[in-house]
């Protein structure tokens, strides 16, 4: 269903994000990470992208890539005044 919505021209960042989460749940971590990279490119202000991408990148052993996602997410969350997301992103970054 998500793929159909995307193919139909969906512009809701959650649809693209949900597709990445579905890929993660199927164990397709590399594909999920690429899907999250696409979310970041299309919707650079969509904060949830960064934490999930950072977690998956770390999970597949791409620590520097994880650090980059988390740092960019910190900047976006801070710019939006989203203290909750900023705190979660900082915790994830500190744990690398």
pLDDT at 9: 78
pLDDT at 5: 80
pLDDT at 68: 98
Q: What is the pLDDT of residues 6-19, one digit of tens each?
A: 777 788 999 999 99
The alpha carbon torsion through 64, 66, 69, 73 (nearest 10 deg) reads -120
Integer Cα distance of 44 and 61 in angstroms: 24
Domain boundaries, the chain: 2-94
Integer Cα distance of 73 and 27 in angstroms: 24
CATH, domain 2-94, list 1.20.140.10, 1.25.40.10, 3.30.390.30, 3.40.50.2000 = 1.25.40.10
Q: Is the pTM of this model over 0.75?
A: yes
- The H helix count followed by the E strand count for the chain is 6, 0
Q: Is 68 helix (H, G, I), strand (E, B) or coil?
A: helix
> Mean pLDDT over residues 55-74, rounded?
98
Write out the DSSP string of 4-32. Answer: HHHHTT---HHHHHHHHHHHHHTT-HHHH
**Is 2 exposed, middle or buried, given 0-12, 13-18 or 19+ CB atoms closer than 10 A?**
middle
pLDDT at 14: 94
Q: What is the pLDDT of residues 80-91, one digit of tens each?
A: 999 999 999 999
């Amino acid at each position: 269903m998500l793929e159909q919505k995307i193919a139909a021209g969906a512009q809701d960042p959650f649809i693209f994000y949900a597709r990445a989460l579905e890929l993660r749940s199927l164990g397709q971590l590399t594909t999920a990470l690429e899907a999250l990279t696409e979310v970041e490119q299309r919707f650079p202000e969509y904060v949830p992208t960064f934490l999930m991408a950072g977690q998956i990148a770390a999970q597949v052993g791409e620590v520097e890539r994880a650090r980059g996602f988390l740092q960019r997410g910190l900047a976006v969350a801070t710019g939006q005044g989203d203290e909750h997301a900023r705190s979660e992103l900082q915790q994830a970054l500190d744990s690398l």
